[in-house]
């Protein structure tokens, strides 16, 4: 079967006196956002091409069908299918979730304190069967403060247009009213009479907050807040003391905060703190004080507090540290507990509010680790928290930790049913000097039998955008590759925040190329240190990580055996120029505004994957996308794949697979997720020459 060919139709696009010729721009139809809710509006020629590409991908991978089934069973065998979470003790009930051997979705349960009777209030598999939809995206599951009403939001296509439903937990019957076209979030009011929701506008942006009355007269939902700044999106949350609602409006780099009184005596939001460029704010309230987590005057964040009576008279609670991200703390009567992130590693700190003593909770000696903490109960004077811990080779453990006496017990161990011995694996931390001599951390995990002789295959994973950090947690999925001799490496490149806010700032806007250079430097350093060699590296990244893959494949294709680009942001210049798309305007402070500023245009154009495809050899490439993806529209990878196939000079394989009933995160359900992973792994193993 010959590779599919997409029709070429020349279009000249002029911006800032610069001309770009695009032969595939016609794929982006004018009403493309309508396709997200109505697939019948998809251009028939494009649909035919997507189906041809899917058939071509299936044909190439048909000899891996048995391997895919083997991988599926293997990956699934490492998951404890019938499992349950640790409980959270609310005021009257304890809440937890469980999974079953046959189910694909979680079951949510609760029971009253000091009672044994359990109540199932949400069963994902049963709910999915009611809607008879191949895609079943659960946005939010929220129980009212009086424990009587369940609110849940569903996306039945993958386009992230959520409908909100309410259910009486006593009668198990749903309310008549369904609120459509929301972003999925549900925030019940403290009086249990209303809930807040956020409506999506015509560009799929979160701009308006509404208050919906649950019972009584069927009055029109009341608009509480509407954001007029184009690049800002809104959200609303409750405070820890249940005295206020916090409205936050902003983008990735900045935001402003408003307050509503908890008793809703006024429905007019009061500005607490306005936005300043590049300043982030997170606001909470506890014990007659406001707590503000901010990087204002503290690049890597600090926590300050003020009394309700003098809200802008702040005192420092947790100080900033150099190259260390300070997290928002858990607020308890006697304690503050927070996570610090430094040098691509994680630490837990606690402060005694009475003695003001700060100490690190040091329970784990591993150099590379993942730790997190969460509330154990709703009680204000609690001395307990949950601590979760793992490493790339050590399974997750959840501890119930007593802050008062420093004692703890393990309340949950991650079980690998098919068996697992962490002594068979090696974790290492290397630092690759980048083009400007900045050292880039890499987290490496491999099987102890895999030799460091320059011959191994390496999967080099990267992201590097939005300040998002790659973690160091355990993943049983990776074992399928590690046990077959492939080394897994996470590259903690700039654009994330693994090494502080400066790590992000030096990997975005007009510093974005540092992200790509860091990744390439990591690849070259792995070759230098004999972990692998040229044409033995498989690159992998999704969404903005797909942007990363597209750039490095254009720049240094000779380093790679292959690459997986999942829902990749590869036509980044075209998307940046189109301000009607859902995410573009909210990302001006991440990538720039090419339409307004010529220097941004020139810079993005100089690296954008689609615009920099060359007549050269490329490695084996597997691209995935979804028809209902509103974050990276399917036309980006479609155009990219078509142009790449037209230009590349090699005979290596290029595959494009489109999920016709899914969104940005792929298909829903446990088995479907494992199937997608098995497909990607089968591609990796095939190009690596590993047949079983």
Both tokens of 189, joined, read 């009011």
Distance CA 333, CA 350 (A): 13
Total structural domains within the chain: 1
Query: Is residue 69 a part of any domain in this protein?
Result: yes
* pLDDT given at position 1: 81
Q: Are 634 and 641 in contact (CB under 8 A)?
A: no
C-alpha distance from residue 472 to each of 321, 336, 444 (Å) = 21, 24, 10
Distance CA 494, CA 505 (A): 8
Residues of the chain under the 70 pLDDT cut:
217
Burial of 352 (0-12, 13-18, 19+ CB in 10 A): middle
Q: Which helix (H) or strand (E) holds 130?
A: helix 124-131
List the one residue out of 475, 452, 449, 471 whose CA is nearest residue 526. Answer: 452
Query: Is residue 596 a part of any domain in this protein?
Result: no
Task: Tell me the HSE value of 583 on the side-chain side, using a 13 A CA sphere.
Answer: 18
* pLDDT given at position 36: 84
Query: Is residue 184 a part of any domain in this protein?
Result: no
Query: Is residue 297 a part of any domain in this protein?
Result: no
Any idea how long the chain is?
692
Q: Are 286 and 240 in contact (CB under 8 A)?
A: yes
Query: Is residue 403 a part of any domain in this protein?
Result: no
Task: Give strand pairing partners of 20.
Answer: 13
Helix axes of 65-77 and 670-687: crossing angle, nearest 10 degrees: 130
C-alpha distance from residue 164 to each of 151, 302, 308, 357 (Å) = 7, 36, 34, 45
C-alpha distance from residue 85 to each of 106, 151, 369 (Å) = 10, 21, 21
Query: Is residue 167 a part of any domain in this protein?
Result: no
Looking up residue 676, the CATH number of its domain turns out to be: 3.40.50.1820
Query: Is residue 317 a part of any domain in this protein?
Result: no
pLDDT tens-digit profile of 10-67? 999 999 999 999 999 999 999 898 888 788 999 999 999 999 999 999 999 999 999 9
Q: How many CB atoms lie within 10 A of CB 164?
A: 23
Domain hosting residue 515, numbered range:
26-76+420-571+619-687
Both tokens of 591, joined, read 């990538």
Distance of CA 320 to the CA centre of its chain: 26
* pLDDT given at position 687: 98
Q: Are 381 and 375 in contact (CB under 8 A)?
A: no
Query: Is residue 39 a part of any domain in this protein?
Result: yes
- Has this prediction a pTM greater than 0.85? yes
Q: Are 35 and 50 in contact (CB under 8 A)?
A: no
Q: Are 122 and 136 in contact (CB under 8 A)?
A: no
* pLDDT given at position 141: 98
Distance CA 369, CA 39 (A): 44
């Amino acid at each position: 079967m010959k590779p599919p060919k997409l029709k070429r139709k020349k279009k000249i696009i002029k911006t800032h006196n610069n001309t770009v010729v695009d032969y595939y721009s016609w794929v982006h139809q004018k009403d493309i956002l309508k396709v997200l809710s109505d697939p019948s509006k998809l251009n028939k020629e494009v649909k035919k091409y997507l189906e041809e590409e899917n058939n071509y991908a299936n044909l190439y991978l048909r000899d891996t069908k048995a391997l895919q089934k083997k991988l599926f069973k293997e990956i699934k065998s490492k998951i404890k299918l019938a499992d349950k979470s640790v409980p959270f003790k609310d005021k009257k009930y304890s809440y937890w979730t469980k999974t079953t051997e046959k189910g694909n979705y979680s079951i949510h349960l609760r029971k009253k304190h000091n009672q044994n009777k359990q109540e199932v209030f949400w069963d994902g598999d049963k709910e999915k069967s009611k809607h008879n939809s191949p895609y079943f995206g659960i946005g939010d599951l929220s129980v009212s403060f009086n424990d009587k009403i369940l609110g849940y939001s569903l996306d039945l296509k993958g386009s992230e247009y959520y409908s909100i439903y309410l259910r009486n937990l006593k009668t198990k019957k749903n309310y008549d009213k369904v609120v459509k076209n929301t972003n999925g979030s549900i925030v019940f009011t403290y009086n249990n009479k209303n809930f807040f929701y956020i409506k999506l506008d015509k560009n799929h942006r979160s701009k308006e907050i509404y208050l919906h009355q649950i019972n009584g007269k069927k009055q029109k939902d009341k608009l509480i807040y509407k954001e007029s700044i184009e690049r800002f999106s809104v959200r609303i949350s409750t405070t820890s003391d249940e005295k206020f609602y916090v409205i936050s409006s902003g983008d990735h780099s900045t935001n402003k905060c408003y307050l509503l009184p908890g008793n809703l005596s006024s429905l007019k939001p009061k500005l607490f703190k306005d936005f300043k460029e590049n300043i982030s704010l997170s606001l909470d309230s506890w014990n007659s004080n406001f707590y503000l987590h901010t990087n204002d005057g503290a690049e890597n964040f600090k926590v300050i507090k003020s009394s309700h009576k003098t809200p802008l008279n702040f005192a420092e609670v947790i100080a900033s540290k150099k190259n260390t991200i300070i997290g928002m703390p858990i607020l308890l009567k006697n304690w503050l507990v927070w996570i610090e992130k430094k040098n691509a590693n994680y630490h837990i700190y606690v402060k005694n509010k009475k003695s003001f003593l700060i100490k690190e909770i040091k329970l784990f000696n591993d150099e590379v680790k993942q730790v997190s903490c969460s509330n154990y109960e709703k009680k204000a004077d609690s001395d307990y928290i949950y601590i979760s811990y793992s490493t790339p080779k050590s399974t997750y453990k959840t501890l119930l930790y007593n802050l008062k006496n420093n004692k703890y017990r393990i309340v949950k161990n991650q079980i690998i049913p098919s068996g697992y011995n962490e002594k068979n694996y090696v974790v290492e931390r290397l630092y690759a000097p980048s083009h400007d001599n900045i050292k880039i951390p890499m987290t490496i995990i491999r099987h102890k039998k895999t030799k460091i002789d320059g011959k191994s295959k390496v999967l080099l994973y990267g992201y590097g955008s939005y300040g998002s950090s790659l973690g160091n947690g355990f993943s049983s999925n990776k074992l399928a590759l590690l046990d077959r001799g492939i080394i897994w490496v996470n590259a903690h490149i700039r654009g994330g925040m693994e090494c502080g806010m400066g790590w992000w700032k030096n990997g975005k806007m007009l510093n974005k190329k540092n992200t790509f250079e860091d990744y390439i430097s990591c690849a070259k350093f792995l070759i230098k240190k004999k972990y692998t060699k040229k044409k033995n590296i498989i690159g992998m990244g999704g969404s903005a990580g797909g942007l990363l893959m597209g750039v490095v494949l254009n720049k240094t294709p000779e380093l790679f055996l292959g690459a997986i680009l999942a829902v990749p942001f590869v036509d980044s210049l075209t998307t940046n120029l189109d301000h009607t798309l859902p995410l573009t305007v909210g990302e001006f402070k991440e990538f720039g505004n090419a339409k307004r500023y010529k220097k941004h245009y020139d810079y993005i154009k100089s690296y954008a994957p689609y615009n920099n495809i060359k007549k050269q050899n490329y490695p084996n490439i597997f691209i995935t996308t979804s028809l209902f993806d509103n974050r990276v529209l399917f036309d980006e990878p479609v155009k990219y794949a078509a142009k790449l196939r037209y230009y590349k000079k090699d005979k290596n394989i290029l595959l494009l697979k489109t999920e016709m009933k899914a969104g940005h995160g792929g298909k829903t359900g446990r088995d479907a997720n494992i199937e997608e992973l098995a497909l990607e792994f089968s591609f990796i193993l095939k190009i690596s020459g590993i047949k079983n």
